[in-house]
A and B are shown apart, each in its own frame.
Chain A
Amino acid sequence: AQTVTQSQPEMSVQEAETVTLSCTYDTSESNYYLFWYKQPPSRQMILVIRQEAYKQQNATENRFSVNFQKAAKSFSLKISDSQLGDTAMYFCAFMYSGGGADGLTFGKGTHLIIQP
């Protein structure tokens, strides 16, 4: 079984700063997907970014980018020019390739607070 570890329960940065959230995982599979989900106080889980394990290039979505180190089983999220609306719980998640019916394995989450 796979495990996902987020070692930072809470982080706080000033608006406009850059922040990096860490995530490590453990799996014996070679084909899988990794995701970062954001959950603001409104409760909805919002997909921030996804990374295919077979791709060496790190995924980027506007101010959000990942540093994917497959050998180290590390998948960190960098948020540039942080905004007040980025305040939320951030969950790292794992899914087997082709395992769309098996659901996601989540880390425990990081509560990110953006200070004005």
Chain B
Amino acid sequence: DTEVTQTPKHLVMGMTNKKSLKCEQHMGHRAMYWYKQKAKKPPELMFVYSYEKLSINESVPSRFSPECPNSSLLNLHLHALQPEDSALYLCASSQGQGYDSPLHFGNGTRLTVT
């Protein structure tokens, strides 16, 4: 069982669709992360939210739009994606800035863009 829950597990979308990925944690963590992972590659950091504020955006295209409604929830809104955006999207959480806690990851959402 994972303490970070991601939905959906799989998502297939066309290039004109709008969809959202959701992530939830109830460990009281104050930092949440989105990573993108291609097959047989390490995860690449996309966004970091610290205390519900966006603290890191790793030059991600604007077709990816993160949102942190509260300290337990993290969304990733998708619009006008390209086939090369097909990947595993991992959410993670940690205690956050000033703490030395490891990241806890969810099971990921497998995204396919057609």
Query: Which A residues have a C-beta under 8 Å from some C-beta of B?
Result: 33, 35, 37, 42-47, 50, 52, 89, 91, 95, 97-104, 106-109, 111
Q: Does the CB pair A101–B50 fall under 8 Å?
A: yes
The verdict on A100 contacting B43 (CB below 8 Å), with A44-B105, A45-B90 known, is: no
Q: Does the CB pair A106–B43 fall under 8 Å?
A: yes
A-B CB contacts (within 8 Å), total count: 74
Describe A's contact surface by its main secondary structure: loop
**Of B20-28, B76-84, B94-102, which stretch is located at the interface?**
B94-102
A91 and B2 alpha carbons, distance in the complex (Å): 19
Residues of A within 8 A of B90 (CB): 45
The verdict on A103 contacting B45 (CB below 8 Å), with A97-B100, A98-B97, A109-B40 known, is: yes
Q: Does the CB pair A42–B107 fall under 8 Å?
A: yes
User: Interface range on chain B: under 10, 10 to 19, 20 to 34, or 35 or more?
Assistant: 20 to 34
Query: Which B residues have a C-beta under 8 Å from some C-beta of A?
Result: 2, 31, 33, 35, 40-43, 45, 48, 50, 55-56, 88, 90, 92, 94-108, 110
Query: Could you list 19 further interchain pairs (A-B, Cβ under 8 angstroms) beyond the known A43-B88, A44-B105, A100-B31?
Result: A33-B100, A43-B107, A44-B2, A44-B106, A46-B105, A50-B102, A91-B42, A91-B43, A95-B102, A99-B97, A100-B94, A100-B97, A100-B98, A101-B48, A101-B50, A101-B56, A103-B35, A103-B103, A109-B41
Kindly list the 5 A-B residue pairs having the minimum CB-CB distance in the complex, ordered from nearest: A106-B42, A45-B105, A101-B97, A101-B50, A103-B45
Shortest A37–chain B CB gap in Å is 8
Q: Does the CB pair A98–B105 fall under 8 Å?
A: no
Residues of B within 8 A of A44 (CB): 2, 105-108
For this complex, 7 residue pairs linking A to B, each with C-beta atoms less than 8 Å apart, are A33-B100, A44-B105, A95-B102, A101-B50, A103-B48, A103-B92, A107-B42
